Structures are given as C-alpha cells and as structure tokens.
Amino acid sequence: MKIGYVTSGFTNHNINEVIRILNKLGYNGLELVLDKQHYHPYYSSSIKDIKKIIKQNGMEVVVGTGGRFALTEIKHEPTFVNPDEKGRRDRIEFTKKAIDTCVELDGSVVTGHSGKLQDDLSPVTAEQWLIEGLSEVHDYANDFGITFALEPEPGMFIQSLNDWFSINKQINVGFCLDIGHVFCTEDDPITVVDNSAKLADNIHIEDIKDQLHKHLLLGDGDIDFGKVLPLISHVDCMVNVELHDYSNVAETTAKESIDKIRSILRDCRKST
C-alpha cells in the first residue's frame, strides 16, 4: 500500500521540510494542498523547486484543492455551488490552476469537494451548477491526462457515496474516498469502504468518534482499522493520512500514523 500524508497537517513547516520529513519516515508521497504556506498558484512564483525535491526524494504527489482559506477568508468558499456566479468561476479557475500544478509535478490526481449548499438555494439549481463546473474541470483535466477526484464530505452538497454516484451518472468524475467521512455519513461504513475502494482515485484516512466530523489520530476514535485497512491495502492509488489539526505536533503525528498503519497491516497478515 502506498502511504502519503496531506500537507495541511504540516502548516508550521515549509514544503521542503515536509517532503524531507515524510521521506525520512518512509512515506511514499504526499497530497500537496494548495495554500499560501506551502504552494499557492496565485502567490508562489515557481513550482520548480518543489518538483526538484519531490523527485530527489522519490515521492509521488496528489494535488488537493480543499484548503480551508485558499481563496477567501470564508472557510472553503467560494465553491462549485456558490450562489455568486463570479464565485463559482473563481473555483473553476482555481481548480484548473491545480490541474496545471499537478501536470508540472508529474502527478495524475487533483482532489476537491462540491461545497456547502447555502441557505435558500435549491438543490436542483446547485446540482446544475455543480455539473456545469465539473464538466468544465473534467474536460480541462482530461486534456492533460489528469483525474479530478470529487470527495464526498459531511455537510457538503455531495456528502455520501450515493451523492457521488448521482453526480457520476451525469459527468464521469473521479472519486476521492475519505475513510473518516464514510464513518460519519454511512449506515454500514465497512460495506461502503469494501464496495467503493476499487473506485477510488485517491484515499484519505483518519479516525472518527461518535460520527462527528473531526479528524483524529488512528486509534483515538471508533474505526476498527483492523477491518478497514485490509479492504484498501491493495488499491492502486495512494492512501493519504489527513490530520489538519495536528500541525503543532506534525512530525510526531506523521510518525505515529505510519507506524500504526504498518503495525495493523502486519497483524492482519499474520492472522491470515
């Protein structure tokens, strides 16, 4: 299994430090979330130095567009379903920049979410806007051989696997499976993980407690990773640890996470 780490969990480190730390700990890659701390296509001058150190360390890369304040001071906004037409256009153009970044880094996957359904907005209208935005993004990504992987997220317009399927029937969008999100939104999360892992272009992993959408260290929540990890251990895509609220102990957290994953996988192999 290829194990990566999402850079939003390292906001106190520059990106060169992040890559070196992750490589030292044995990670296979990273998900580079576009933000002003590590790399932002609107504020950073060049991606060449990042590409160089990624290559030097033999890392794979996924590009993430889900930064909390990447575009405005309002969390996650604007999105594909923002009521303001300019806001939706800003999200589409930002996603295209993420695709450009992915191409420059020799990656193949860009991740993102739908956005939150705002008050008084019709779900029918939101779906129309989302399809329009994703269609443009998909066509742009497809020209470069990049997959845009839509991530269902609790509280967003697209928050469950069924929501993703309903969109995918209309536009052939990729899929980002978040293990913790599944345990927030699905009645039978183990079955959902089992059935959907083979569809995933990217996977996020973290623990969840009491179905509350707060990313926790593996082992600090309710998820039985002894059941989950074998279901995703043979996927082709990277499995990225996503712990955005642990930057003050980022290196320790990254080490504990990969050690935990390896230990569980070893135990699973011994029991078979």
Residue 12 has a pLDDT of 96
User: What pLDDT does residue 120 have?
Assistant: 87
Average pLDDT over residues 242-266: 97
Query: Which residue ranges form the domains of the chain, and what is each CATH number?
Result: 3-271 (3.20.20.150)
Percent of the chain scored above 70 by pLDDT?
100
pLDDT at site 32: 98
- Tell me what pLDDT residue 64 has: 98
- Residue linked to tokens 């935990």: 260
Token pair for residue 218? 């593996």
Closest CA to 199 of 236, 162, 240, 152: 236
Is the model's pTM score more than 0.85? Answer: yes
Q: 159-180: per-residue pLDDT in tens? A: 999 999 999 999 999 999 999 9
How does the average pLDDT of the chain come out, rounded?
96
pLDDT digits (tens, 9 = 90+) for 101-124: 999 999 999 999 999 999 889 999
17-32 pLDDT tens trace: 999 999 999 999 999 9
The pLDDT, as a whole number, for residue 272 is: 65
Residue 165 CB partners (closer than 8 Å, separation 6+) = none
Place 269 in a pLDDT band, splitting at 50, 70 and 90: confident
Closest CA to 97 of 135, 144, 50: 144
pLDDT digits (tens, 9 = 90+) for 42-88: 998 789 999 999 999 999 999 999 999 999 999 999 999 999 999 99
- The tokens describing 5, both together, are 């780490």
190: which DSSP letter? H
Q: What is the pLDDT of residue 45?
A: 77
pLDDT at 53: 95
Q: What DSSP string describes 20-67? A: HHHHHHT--EEEEE-BTTTB-TTT-S-SHHHHHHHHHTT-EEEEE---
Q: Which distant-in-sequence residues (6+ apart) come within 8 Å of 247 by Cβ?
A: 9, 10, 11, 12, 13
User: Stretch 239-251: mean pLDDT, rounded?
Assistant: 97
pLDDT at 200 over 70: yes
